């Protein structure tokens, strides 16, 4: 199982300096990838501060592309309803070229009504829109002349240049937890990426749905990437009723091995969902100290 690490992406510690430090150290330690996340905005009256102070993920990755040489650059996830497929195709192609072909593009459907209202996008029929969105991305990345005439999107004959470095384009990983979303990932994407809210004790069932959909579509399920967002919370060992990926480094490594046994092919350590590190009362200096500890503790071996 390949191991990645999320840069600071939410809360007071999500600064360019800290992001560069984590990305560079991850590359030095042999991590496969570094990751960001997307949150456009939050309801003003919400008590949920999980997504506070979140920078744009693609601009962040573009900056990190110039600060690193080898490590892959992932986002989990950009929500398709918030952008036109043409704009995202151009952004992703440019980022892939800036990074020398290192982009992994996670895409999702979104879930927060306030974000949909703010961007003027409907929440209805997100799945059907997503399938056309993916088709538009791929023709723009791959075809000399692109054209598409769908229910939601239309391309007259057009050319998009420059193309991405990776062919037929950056790998697309689809998020989502519902059965239609899981099956869509198996049918149409390079793989599936789990969310921070996923029940990791039941991830094997979700993976089976993704793999089954791929097989039914005539695809090789063993070629799919199954990426787990590892919402790690480092704590004292031996906690009662311990959740997966919460506890000491030794306990968390054991959980990682269990996830690999269930079919996870990649996992990235993500500390951005630990309120002790990202909440309004968190000390950014302490949060970075924990990140340095985690980088060393979970560095790939061998």
- In the structure encoding, which two tokens stand for residue 124, read together? 């209805």
Q: How confident is the model at residue 48 (pLDDT cuts 50, 70, 90)?
A: confident
Coil, strand or helix: which one is 65? helix
SS3 state at 117: helix
Q: Which residues contact 294 (CB under 8 A, 6 or more apart)?
A: 5, 232, 234, 249, 269, 271
Average pLDDT over residues 270-291: 97
To which H or E segment does residue 229 belong? strand 225-231
CB 230 within 8 A of CB 267: yes
Nearest-angstrom CA–CA distance, 256 and 259: 5
Q: What percent of the chain has pLDDT over 70?
A: 100
Prediction pTM value: 0.97
Q: Is the per-residue pLDDT at 302 higher than 80?
A: no
Containing 172, the helix (H) or strand (E) segment is: strand 172-174
Taking only the tens place, the pLDDT of each residue in 172-219 is 999 999 999 999 999 999 999 999 999 999 999 999 999 999 999 999
């Amino acid at each position: 199982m390949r191991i990645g690490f999320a840069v600071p992406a939410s809360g007071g510690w999500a600064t360019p300096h800290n992001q560069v430090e984590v990305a560079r150290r991850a590359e030095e330690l042999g991590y496969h990838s570094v990751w960001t996340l997307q949150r456009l905005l939050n309801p003003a009256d919400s008590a949920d501060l999980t997504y506070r102070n979140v920078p744009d993920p693609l601009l962040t990755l573009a900056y990190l592309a110039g600060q690193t040489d080898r490590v892959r650059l992932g986002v989990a996830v950009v929500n398709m309803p918030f952008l036109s497929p043409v704009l995202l195709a151009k952004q992703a192609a440019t980022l892939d070229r800036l990074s020398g072909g290192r982009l992994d593009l996670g895409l999702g459907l979104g879930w927060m009504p306030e974000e949909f209202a703010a961007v003027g996008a409907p929440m209805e029929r997100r799945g059907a829109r997503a399938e056309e969105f993916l088709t538009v991305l791929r023709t723009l990345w791959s075809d000399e002349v692109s054209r598409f005439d769908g229910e939601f999107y239309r391309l007259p004959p057009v050319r998009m240049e420059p193309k991405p470095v990776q062919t037929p384009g950056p790998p697309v990983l689809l998020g989502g937890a519902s059965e239609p979303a899981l099956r869509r990932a198996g049918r149409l994407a390079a793989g599936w990426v789990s969310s921070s809210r996923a029940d990791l004790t039941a991830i094997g069932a979700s993976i089976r749905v993704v793999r089954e959909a791929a097989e039914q579509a005539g695809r090789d399920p063993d070629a799919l990437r199954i990426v787990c967002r590892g919402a790690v919370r480092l704590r004292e060992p031996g906690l009662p009723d311990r959740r997966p990926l919460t506890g000491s480094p030794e306990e968390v490594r054991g959980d990682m091995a269990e996830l690999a046994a269930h079919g996870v092919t990649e996992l990235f350590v993500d500390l951005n969902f630990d309120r002790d590190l990202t909440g309004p009362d968190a000390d950014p200096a302490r949060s970075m100290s924990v990140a340095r500890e985690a980088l060393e503790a979970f560095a790939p071996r061998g």
